[in-house]
Structure 1
Amino acid sequence: MSQHAPAFARRVLGAFAAAVIATAATAAISQTLNVYNWNDYIDPAVIERFQRETGIAVRYDVFESLETLEAKLLAGRSGYDIVVPTNEPTFSRLIRAGALQPLDRAKIPNWGNLDRTLMQRLDRSDEGNRHGVIYLWGTIGLGLNPARIREVAPDAPLDSWDLLFKPEHASRIARCGITMMDSAIDVIPTVLHYLGLDPNSTAEADLRKVEQTLMAIRPHIRTFSTGGAIEQLATGQSCLAFAYSGDAIQAADRAQEAGQGVEVKYVAPREGAQLWFDVLAIPKDAPNAEAAHRFIDFLLQPEVIAAVTNHVAYPNAVPASKPMIEPDILADRNVYPAEQDFARFFTIGAVPQAAERARSRMWARFKAGR
């Protein structure tokens, strides 16, 4: 407006503009973003910053297994705007079921920050990368307390799946506690791979071999837990855990901070480890898809996702974040594998529903020990 306009007109228009701004601010504050993520999987300061910068309140719920997430999404009307499924089998299966909506890249300017090579790997689960972006990624291996294991099983190989899957080792390590990840989706493909079989196999004979392997060590497993493995390793309740890489590394940090003499290390076993990607996705019926896009774009800022990696010890898919990541995390090949390490890693795909049911039944028998 011209500076020479009447003062009254300036006051009226100024008051109108203030009212519009106030109304917009109130509307923004009244918005809520509903997030459903893995436990211990974000820096709380990042959530606080998002709320402060956008005025959007965040309701943050957590889950501990892909089965829980998938059941809630497939039932519909979950009420969530952001979910974080693992690429296989959950993310790809949710896409096929029509439970996720395509992302609007025009609303995610920071999409260009993503690592193209990693996103190409995700393309196998989501052709064209239409439904999600990589949040964090890692491997599945063993969290262990080397000193405690050496005490009870001095000749056990610390860099091999034999440490857990061979009864002669597991029976001795049981004295200081073994925690098994409570997720058939993650455990069964790893056992298949360990046995020299296709991790995506649906053959009954192969599943029987997996069951035989697991049942042989069942008497030696103290607890079944996924997120709880962090605390059990950090406090010394368990000296061996089938765990996500970042969970074991978080446990190592907590153990060091506690200063109780507990040492925890993560190992991606020499026989190979499953490579996975956790994906930011928006449910088909998300109440606030607009805020969900803003949250994804917010997380893809290098300094924001670096803060997440520094807090949870999982690598992200934004290369420009690396200068802001703590040097000890960046230098740890168990967090950021070297290029040659990828040759030992494998990825999995979804299996048919009938095979999935057979796996679930087997897993129930395994947990029950009969």
Structure 2
Amino acid sequence: MRHFALIAALLLAPALAQAQTVLNVYNWTDYIDPDVVQRFQQETGIRIRYDVYDSLETLEGKLSAGRSGYDLVVPTSEPSFARLVRAGALRPLDRARIPNWRNLDTGLMERAGRADPGNAHGAIYLWGTVGLGLRLDRIRAIAPDLALDGLDLLLKPENARRLAGCGLAVMDSATDVLPSVLRWLGRDPDSADAGDLRAAEAALLAIRPQLRGIPGSGALLDMLATGEICVALAYSGDVIQAAARAREAGRGVEIGYVAPAAGPHLFFDMLAIPADAPNPDAAHAFIDFLLRPEVIAAVSSHVRYPNAVPASRPLIAAPVREDSNVYPPDAVLAHGFVPGTPGPQAERLRSRLWSRFRAGR
């Protein structure tokens, strides 16, 4: 009898060990389908502890300090992911443990590979563009003559003054705002030139008095959804989420998204494992799980961001997969740009610029 008990204990030990495993995930706010998290836990017995952030600066601060305790993080390819790769803060992925890697779009992975040669440290989770979130009903009422297809709507001071009464906002991320402003000015989005950065600062300060806020991603989404603001420089998926919430609320708030006609800033959010992750095996298992077409389709359907698994497209909810703001036409992608990673001196200049812009002086 004791032998049977011993055998049973030995057989149960691996399952019990797995059941006690905790996967520590650090991801953007409102950036996963909760049912996907639940399904992974049920399939594997691995419990997920899920924390969120709303800016790349917050993520980098956590990881730069070391011993963050996280097993899986989702940094944007440029500049955060690129900096973390160069600093040795991320573990190279073991593709043998990620058989669903084969599902990834090779063209998109090649573009993301600019930050990570050979795609050694990350797989694309979701991606998107930076553009304008618009409360269309208010803008039509106030300024029906204004073109809605470019950053002139927000960044030209005369337009900002006309629309200030219905609320203007710029998301609190120098990383994601400055490249678009530089591109709008006809400058290199990666410029480290002090004159170019002064021009970008002047453009932002010129509209600063008209801004209702410079909120984080989550707060900006809420401001759009409730109709508190009518123009925002924001992530595409946040605006599309806000539009869905506004429709569900049924209060007549009509939200739309516009990618700049001159070519939007493209970003790729990467699944990556910190170098000191306590449970890298669990992190590999979760990455492989997320790259299943039916799983990542559920994520895209829920958060309204495109993914990099082509086989998932037919499985995504029709209103999402057929929305050209979620999946931009090839012509928009062809004109889009992926910003590079500023060097240390340029980064300091940009950081000080952003502090002055936030302070309004």
Is 2:221 the partner of 1:227? no
Partner Cα distance (2:227, 2:134) in 1: 10
The equivalent residue for 2:344 is 353
Q: CA deviation at 1:80?
A: 0.3
Partner Cα distance (2:2, 2:240) in 1: 60
SS in 1 for 2:260: coil
Partner Cα distance (1:17, 1:168) in 2: 78
Is 2:252 the partner of 1:261? yes
Q: CA deviation at 1:21?
A: 3.1
Is 2:21 the partner of 1:31? yes
Q: CA deviation at 1:174?
A: 1.1
- How do 1:5-24 and structure 2 match up within 5 A? 15-24=5-14
Q: CA deviation at 1:17?
A: 4.2
| AA of the residue aligned to 1:230 | L
Q: Which of residues 133, 148, 152 in structure 1 aligns to 2:123?
A: 133
What RMSD in Å do the two structures reach over aligned CA positions?
1.1
Q: Deviations over 1:51-106 (max 9, x none)?
A: 11111111111111111111111111011000000000111110000000100001
Q: Which of residues 44, 51, 60 in structure 1 aligns to 2:41?
A: 51
SS in 2 for 1:227: helix
Moved more, 123-132 or 338-347: 338-347
- How do 1:149-228 and structure 2 match up within 5 A? 149-225=139-215, 226-228=217-219
Is 2:71 the partner of 1:81? yes
Partner Cα distance (2:141, 2:329) in 1: 31
The equivalent residue for 1:3 is none
Q: Which of residues 295, 301, 308 in structure 1 aligns to 2:292?
A: 301
Partner Cα distance (1:22, 1:261) in 2: 57
The equivalent residue for 2:328 is 337
Q: Deviations over 1:105-134 (max 9, x none)?
A: 011111111111111111111000100000
Partner Cα distance (1:21, 1:165) in 2: 65
- Checking the alignment, whether the CA contact within 8 Å between 1:161 and 1:271 is kept in structure 2 is no
Q: CA deviation at 1:18?
A: 2.8
Q: CA deviation at 1:329?
A: 1.1
Q: Deviations over 1:119-152 (max 9, x none)?
A: 1111111000100000000100011111101222
- Checking the alignment, whether the CA contact within 8 Å between 1:134 and 1:280 is kept in structure 2 is yes
Q: Which of residues 55, 66, 82 in structure 2 aligns to 1:65?
A: 55
Q: CA deviation at 1:312?
A: 0.2
Partner Cα distance (1:295, 1:233) in 2: 32
The equivalent residue for 1:317 is 308
Partner Cα distance (2:192, 2:218) in 1: 28
The equivalent residue for 1:8 is none
Partner Cα distance (2:107, 2:3) in 1: 52
After TM superposition, where is structure 1 displaced by more than 4 Å over at least 4 residues in a row? 11-17
Could you tell me the TM-score, scaled by structure 2's length?
Answer: 0.98
Q: Which of residues 255, 268, 271 in structure 2 aligns to 1:277?
A: 268
Question: When the two structures are aligned, how many residues end up with a matched partner?
Answer: 360
Is 2:233 the partner of 1:242? yes
- Checking the alignment, whether the CA contact within 8 Å between 2:261 and 2:332 is kept in structure 1 is no
- Checking the alignment, whether the CA contact within 8 Å between 1:146 and 1:158 is kept in structure 2 is no
Partner Cα distance (1:369, 1:132) in 2: 37
| AA of the residue aligned to 2:14 | A
